[in-house]
Chains A and B, each alone.
Chain A
């Protein structure tokens, strides 16, 4: 049996961010896969230790360019819990609105990318056009399209005016109609069915054993969503449902994401219509008492966790970020085995990978000899981080 190693990346037309796959193939079929994720390591965790709680939030937000609000919220939530600060209801609603708009724009972006990967560029253009409505809303509410910077320790930075709420609500009917069109398209469109159905299958047991999170796990029937299982903000007060599917393949993940766009729209509408009055921030102390916390949050791609340790100063002693993409990579490697090489872009895109967020893992080689005869550790700069 002749095995061929096909290197994909770190620079490759199918990839949006640098990652290196060493795909071992036997003819057309993939038999093994090696990943190197470490090309975008930026040292954000270390940099976060140098800044006080006011200056650290814009940095934490820049962990990810899509789920920026997720990282800022999970960090603020953790610090507020250590401080014992309860944020006002209006701030919680505003955080939820931005979080769900972010989920909508992230899933629409993903749908476009997935369609583009299978050559269905019409859908790519449509979803990205409709995503503009969500981005425009975010821009109006926060002042920026991507880095909203709405959070601060103890609440939110900006209040929503009645005219902003009205303008946001006015965009909802168009989006609802478009989402209905996507639901129909996923069921009927031959291009998508051929390339998505049965591709990248992951059973419920496999999803659980690989620790998959977010839409990847929910598409395999794992009913796990941090918003339901460990509620934060106002998710336990408002009506919404966890979207799951039993297909377990890329088709299932697409259905889950589209279902979640619809759910998010419902949440945004509910929050905008029932926005409580009152202050938007509570007085928070400058320094946090010594403590440790694992703060969890359901980002668009899945569960994001920040481990935070404080030491009584206005800075964190340690922040450790676990992004959803990291949790999903092992399932991708599993899904690819036995598939044709042409399925690599679709299966990889199906977890909605975000490489810059993920480049913070420490690789521990079990039983490895790190002496002078040992092979150099993987990584662009010869260090395994």
Chain B
């Protein structure tokens, strides 16, 4: 009898799985997704490149004037991040003194080609 009632219940109940793509799993705030760097905030200090465990960040020449703690200073370099190497640990975000580099929650996938890099695009 219990089998019959369970069968009927299963026949008319909604599946427990998410009906992708009509319905998507929400990505929480603070999710460590694709990395990006705000060009107008980066002071080119290279800290992100030094702490990156995967050596995904290299510093490239990019002279520019930026505001930092109420002062205007001349930046010499900015990070270039190889997405394929990024392990999304968040250490660059944690150690950035200028709050320029962030892991965004919008897009969870990383680079799909070996040489795809992201520079200052936030």
Q: Which A residues are closer than 8 A to B by beta carbons? A: 51, 54-59, 129, 136, 139-140, 143-144, 147, 149, 152, 157-158
* Shortest Cβ distance from B16 into A: residue: A129
* Across-interface contacts of B34 in A (CB, < 8 A): none
* Across-interface contacts of B88 in A (CB, < 8 A): 144
B51 touches A55 (CB 8 A): yes
- What distance in Å separates the Cβ of A14 from its nearest Cβ neighbour in chain B? 26
- What distance in Å separates the Cβ of A91 from its nearest Cβ neighbour in chain B? 14
A149 touches B28 (CB 8 A): no
A140–B30 Cα distance when bound, in Å, is 7
Decide if B53 is an interface residue (CB 8 Å cutoff): yes
B53 touches A59 (CB 8 A): yes
Q: Among the interface residues A51, A129, A144, which one has the most CB atoms of the partner chain B within 10 A?
A: A144
- What distance in Å separates the Cβ of A145 from its nearest Cβ neighbour in chain B? 9
Residues of B57-103 contacting chain A, CB below 8 A: 87-91, 94-95, 103
* Shortest Cβ distance from A157 into B: residue: B94
A55 touches B52 (CB 8 A): yes
Provide the B16-58 mask, 1 if CB < 8 A to any CB of A, else 0.
1000000000001011100000000000000000011110000
* Across-interface contacts of B95 in A (CB, < 8 A): 54
Residues of B94-119 contacting chain A, CB below 8 A: 94-95, 103
Residue B31 contacts which of A58, A59, A143, A152 (CB distance < 8 angstroms)? A143
- What distance in Å separates the Cβ of A265 from its nearest Cβ neighbour in chain B? 21
B32 touches A58 (CB 8 A): no
> Given A51-B53, A129-B16: A58 and B91 within 8 A (CB)?
yes
* Shortest Cβ distance from B31 into A: residue: A143
A58 touches B53 (CB 8 A): yes
> Given A55-B51, A59-B53, A129-B16: A144 and B31 within 8 A (CB)?
yes
* Across-interface contacts of A58 in B (CB, < 8 A): 53-54, 87, 89, 91
* Across-interface contacts of A54 in B (CB, < 8 A): 51, 91, 95
A143–B108 Cα distance when bound, in Å, is 11
Residue B89 contacts which of A51, A139, A140, A147 (CB distance < 8 angstroms)? A147
11 additional contacts, CB 8 Å, given A139-B31, A144-B88, A149-B91? A54-B51, A55-B52, A55-B91, A58-B91, A59-B53, A129-B16, A139-B28, A140-B28, A143-B28, A149-B32, A149-B89
A-B contact pairs, 10 of them (CB 8 A): A54-B51, A55-B52, A58-B54, A58-B89, A59-B53, A140-B30, A144-B88, A149-B32, A149-B91, A157-B90
* Across-interface contacts of A158 in B (CB, < 8 A): 30
- What distance in Å separates the Cβ of B54 from its nearest Cβ neighbour in chain A? 8
* Across-interface contacts of A129 in B (CB, < 8 A): 16
* Across-interface contacts of B91 in A (CB, < 8 A): 54-55, 58, 149
* Across-interface contacts of B94 in A (CB, < 8 A): 152, 157
* Shortest Cβ distance from A145 into B: residue: B31
A144–B28 Cα distance when bound, in Å, is 10
A54–B52 Cα distance when bound, in Å, is 9
* Across-interface contacts of B90 in A (CB, < 8 A): 143, 149, 157
* Across-interface contacts of A143 in B (CB, < 8 A): 28, 30-32, 90, 103
Give me the 3 closest cross-chain CB pairs, A-B, nearest first: A143-B32, A58-B89, A55-B53
* Shortest Cβ distance from A129 into B: residue: B16
A117–B64 Cα distance when bound, in Å, is 61
A58–B32 Cα distance when bound, in Å, is 14
* Shortest Cβ distance from A158 into B: residue: B30
- What distance in Å separates the Cβ of B96 from its nearest Cβ neighbour in chain A? 13
* Shortest Cβ distance from B25 into A: residue: A136
* Across-interface contacts of A149 in B (CB, < 8 A): 32, 89-91
* Shortest Cβ distance from B26 into A: residue: A136
* Across-interface contacts of A139 in B (CB, < 8 A): 28, 31
* Shortest Cβ distance from A51 into B: residue: B53
- What distance in Å separates the Cβ of A4 from its nearest Cβ neighbour in chain B? 41
Q: Among the interface residues B16, B52, B53, B91, which one has the most CB atoms of the partner chain A within 10 A?
A: B53
A152–B95 Cα distance when bound, in Å, is 12
A51–B87 Cα distance when bound, in Å, is 16
- What distance in Å separates the Cβ of A160 from its nearest Cβ neighbour in chain B? 11
A56–B16 Cα distance when bound, in Å, is 40
A55–B94 Cα distance when bound, in Å, is 12
A55–B57 Cα distance when bound, in Å, is 13
A136–B30 Cα distance when bound, in Å, is 13
